[in-house]
Structure 1
Amino acid sequence: MKPRAILIVLLVGVLSVGIPLAWQQLVTPRIDTARSALQASTWLSVLPADSYDNQPLHAALPLTQPQLEHSRLRGGYRATLHGRTAAVVLHSETAGYEGPIQLLIAIDRDGRVIAVHVLHQEETPGLGGKLAEAGHPWLGAFSGRSQANTPQSAWALKRDRGQFDQLAGASVTSRAVIHAVQDALRYFDSHAAQWLAGEAHE
């Protein structure tokens, strides 16, 4: 093979490898940024937009003994406003009817539920799977609830003498979520003194 032909082959080889690598280096940061933005918009949807001024997902809370009575905490994040804790978002996992259910549970500094969002579920479509629908009214029943304003016995379905309606056709799913939210509130209450240490209460 002539030297010129060899040079051309080598050049084509270098370009065929170099161009994809260069392209990957160019687009990877943008993809990562877009992915992070999507995660933030999903995970922080449980918090009112004007209720914090930090980046909660960059403010992870240390979680000791994350295995709870009915669920397990996979993570916790602090939302602050003017340097003061405004809320905590707990990432919880519990066992549903068909598989694990992952929840995001936002709790204000006074121990009240702000909102609950289903991050992942494998429940039966049309039944327990309805929890994944954005803004499902059943999840709204937890807003404002706390250990202080909801008795221990109330954390159950009405059919079990509690205060919560059942998600139609999904009693196992409903009970799992109720227990996971109560677990999260208990955990918050037991760690609030540590998380709010040094902050003045209104």
Structure 2
Amino acid sequence: MAIKRSIIRNALGLGLFAIITAGIIAVTQAVTAERIAEQTRKAEAAALFDIIPERQHDNDLLSDTVTLPPSPLLGTGDIGHGWVARQNDQPVGVILPVMAPDGYSGNIRLLVGIGHDTQVLGVRVTSHRETPGLGDKIELRKSSWVRTFDGRSLGDPAPEQWTVAKNGGAFDQFTGATITPRAVVKAVKKALIYFDNHQGTLLSDTSNQ
């Protein structure tokens, strides 16, 4: 009987330990997820005004949004929103949240600004897990590579050249890293295609403020 009671006590102790450990892990994950989400929101807000500076629009860019249904071109499976920049009530451009699912280390989240003339206004990376010193050169603070998209469009370069130079494209890759820049180039091209397909809706004359 003593052995049986000892086994039961040990089993209960292990069960209680497992429950407490699972609870700690769940709380830690929830707190970490909230922090990551908040950091992403802050990065997005800063990037919006980096892509379309305040001098180039006179509306409240943060609240003037357009609903975006789930779309494989944007790499999203949920309803999202884009930000519309206006000058004198006329739309001058939109910033789309885009996800490249094929980065070297997973998803790469971007903001792609596109003007009413269909040219890229700017591209900024808001989150990624690419290799430090290699793939992280997609960040503006690490290199100026993302600025090579500025002024580009679906026709400049030609569609078949929307890839890295190693694959016959117009965009440089990084030394020792090709997958990361290739994924970003592909995602930006898809964003331009999405804009081309939905320009009328994205640049509506009616503000959502």
TM-score, normalisation: structure 1: 0.73
State the secondary structure of the residue aligned to 1:80.
strand
Change (3 A) 1:156 1:77: same
Structure 1 residue 149, shift from structure 2 partner: 2.7
Indicate if the aligned counterparts of 1:121 and 1:132 stay in contact, CA closer than 8 A.
no
Deviates further, 86-95 or 130-139 = 130-139
- 1-structure distance, mates of 2:47, 2:158: 31
What are the equivalent positions in structure 2 for 1:104-183 lying under 5 Å apart?
A: 104-134=111-141, 136-183=143-190
Change (3 A) 1:197 1:182: same
One-letter code aligned to 1:85: P
State the secondary structure of the residue aligned to 2:76.
strand
Q: Does 1:71 align with 2:75?
A: yes
1:44 match? 49
Q: After the TM superposition, which segments of 4 or more aligned residues of structure 1 sit over 4 Å from their partners?
A: 36-39
State the secondary structure of the residue aligned to 1:61.
strand
What are the equivalent positions in structure 2 for 1:81-92 lying under 5 Å apart?
A: 81-92=87-98
Deviates further, 125-134 or 41-50 = 41-50
Q: CA offsets per residue over residues 21-45 of structure 1, 9 Å max, x none?
A: xxxxxxxxxxxxxxx8875334321
- 1-structure distance, mates of 2:44, 2:144: 23
* Percent of aligned pairs with the same amino acid: 33
- 2-structure distance, mates of 1:38, 1:94: 17
Change (3 A) 1:56 1:124: same
Change (3 A) 1:146 1:176: same
- 1-structure distance, mates of 2:81, 2:152: 21
One-letter code aligned to 1:81: Q
The one of the two structures with greater contact order (alpha-carbon pairs below 8 A, sep at least 6) is: 2
TM-score, normalisation: structure 2: 0.70
Runs of 5+ consecutive residues of structure 1 not aligned to the other structure:
1-35
One-letter code aligned to 2:132: P
CA RMSD across the alignment: 2.4
Structure 1 residue 196, shift from structure 2 partner: 3.5
Q: Does 1:99 align with 2:106?
A: yes
Indicate if the aligned counterparts of 2:160 and 2:169 stay in contact, CA closer than 8 A.
yes
2:37 match? none
Report how many aligned residue pairs link the two structures: 164
Structure 1 residue 198, shift from structure 2 partner: 5.7
